[in-house]
C-alpha cells in the first residue's frame, strides 16, 4: 500500500478531507477525548496516550519526546468515485466507494505516515477489484455490482490492516450511468462508421465516373 510523505502539521489533506493524524507541539496537553497521542523518542521508543490508558514501548526514563502526533479515534466515513474496467477496451463501470474506517493502532498510523485514507484505498480497491469487474460487460452492470459486493463481504482483500486501520468498504456501481456511457460510446462509434461509409461510397462513385 502506498504511503504519503510525512506531514509537518495540520489535520486535513490538500483537498480538505480530514486526515487521520496531525503533528502537535510538545509538551503535549490533551484537548480532546477523541484522539490518541503518539509521543516519539530519539532512542526509538514511543508512548501512546489513549483517552483511558497509556502504553509505553522502550520509553526512556528521562528525556522529552522529539515529536508528538494526535491520531483521530472513533468511526469515520470517506467517499470517493471509482472507474472499474468492464469487459472490452476502454469501457468502465462508474462506481462510488464508501469507506468506513477507524484507527486501531495509532503508532502504526504514525509510522506508516497515513495522510489520505481515500487516496490510499483507491489504488488498493482498483488493484483488488479490476480482475473481477473485467469479467462483465458494461450491460451486465447489475451482475458486476453483486459480484463486487460479494467479494468485499468475504474480507479477503483486508484493506487497512497494515497501516493501523479497521476498514469496511462498500462499492456501489452506478447502473444507469454505466449503461448510459456505453450507449453514448456506441452511438458515437456508429456515427463515425456511417460517416466513414459515406466517404468510402463517394470515393467509389468518383472512381466509377473516371474509369475508362
Is 204 part of a structural domain of the chain? Answer: no
Decide if pLDDT at 15 tops 60. Answer: no
Same domain for 68 and 85: no
Same domain for 122 and 40: no
Q: How confident is the model at residue 41, as a pLDDT?
A: 93
How many domains in the chain? 2
Is 6 part of a structural domain of the chain? Answer: no
Burial code (b: 16+ CB inside 10 Å, e: under 16) for 186-195 equals eeeeeeeeee
Decide if pLDDT at 8 tops 50. Answer: no
Burial code (b: 16+ CB inside 10 Å, e: under 16) for 58-68 equals ebeeeeebeeb
Same domain for 102 and 61: no
Query: What is the radius of gyration, based on Cα positions, of the chain?
Result: 26
Burial code (b: 16+ CB inside 10 Å, e: under 16) for 8-22 equals eeeeebeeebebbbb
Phi then psi dihedrals of residue 23, to 5 deg: -80, 140
Same domain for 94 and 51: no
Q: How confident is the model at residue 210, as a pLDDT?
A: 65
Q: State the average pLDDT for the chain.
A: 79
Same domain for 81 and 64: no
Same domain for 168 and 110: yes
Same domain for 123 and 82: yes
> Per-residue confidence at 40, pLDDT binned at 50, 70, 90?
very high
The 10s digit of each residue's pLDDT in 137-176 is: 888 888 999 999 999 888 888 888 888 999 999 999 887 7
Which range is most confident: 54-63, 88-97, 114-123? 54-63
- CATH number of the domain where residue 91 is located: 3.30.479.30
Same domain for 86 and 156: yes
**Short-list 105, 112, 103, 95, CA closest to 152:** 95
The C-alpha cell at 202 is 463517394
The 10s digit of each residue's pLDDT in 97-134 is: 999 999 999 999 999 988 888 888 888 888 889 889 99
Q: Which of 9-18, 45-54, 123-132 has the lowest mean pLDDT?
A: 9-18
**Short-list 120, 130, 136, CA closest to 13:** 120
Same domain for 90 and 127: yes
Same domain for 105 and 160: yes
The span from the CA of 151 to the CA of 154, in Å, is 5
**What percentage of the chain reaches a pLDDT higher than 70?**
74
Q: Which of 27-31, 135-139, 184-188 has the lowest mean pLDDT?
A: 184-188
Residues near 167 by beta carbon (within 8 Å), at least 6 away in sequence:
99, 100, 101, 121, 159, 160, 161
Q: What is the pTM of this model?
A: 0.67
Is 57 part of a structural domain of the chain? Answer: yes
- Give the residues across from 36 on adjacent strands: 71
Structural domain including 62 reads: 21-72
The span from the CA of 119 to the CA of 82, in Å, is 11
Is 86 within 8 Å of 136 (Cβ atoms)? yes
Decide if pLDDT at 76 tops 80. Answer: yes
Amino acid at each position: 500500500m502506498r504511503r504519503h510523505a510525512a506531514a509537518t502539521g495540520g489535520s486535513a489533506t490538500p483537498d480538505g478531507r480530514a486526515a487521520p493524524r496531525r503533528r502537535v507541539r510538545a509538551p503535549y496537553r490533551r484537548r480532546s477525548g477523541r484522539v490518541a497521542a503518539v509521543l516519539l523518542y530519539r532512542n526509538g521508543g514511543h508512548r501512546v496516550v489513549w483517552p483511558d490508558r497509556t502504553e509505553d514501548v522502550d520509553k526512556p526514563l528521562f528525556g522529552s519526546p522529539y515529536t508528538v502526533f494526535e491520531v483521530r479515534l472513533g468511526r469515520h466515513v470517506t467517499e470517493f468515485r471509482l472507474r472499474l474496467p468492464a469487459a472490452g477496451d476502454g469501457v468502465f463501470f462508474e462506481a462510488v466507494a464508501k469507506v468506513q474506517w477507524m484507527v486501531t493502532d495509532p503508532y502504526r498510523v504514525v509510522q506508516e505516515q497515513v495522510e489520505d485514507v481515500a487516496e490510499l484505498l483507491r489504488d488498493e480497491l482498483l488493484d483488488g477489484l479490476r480482475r473481477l469487474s473485467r469479467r462483465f460487460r458494461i450491460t451486465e452492470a447489475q451482475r458486476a455490482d453483486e459480484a463486487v459486493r460479494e467479494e468485499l463481504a468475504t474480507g479477503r482483500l483486508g484493506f487497512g490492516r497494515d497501516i493501523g486501520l479497521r476498514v469496511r468498504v462498500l462499492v456501489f456501481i452506478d447502473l444507469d450511468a454505466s449503461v448510459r456511457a456505453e450507449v453514448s460510446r456506441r452511438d458515437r462509434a456508429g456515427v463515425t462508421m456511417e460517416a466513414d461509409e459515406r466517404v468510402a461510397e463517394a470515393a467509389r462513385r468518383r472512381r466509377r465516373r473516371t474509369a475508362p
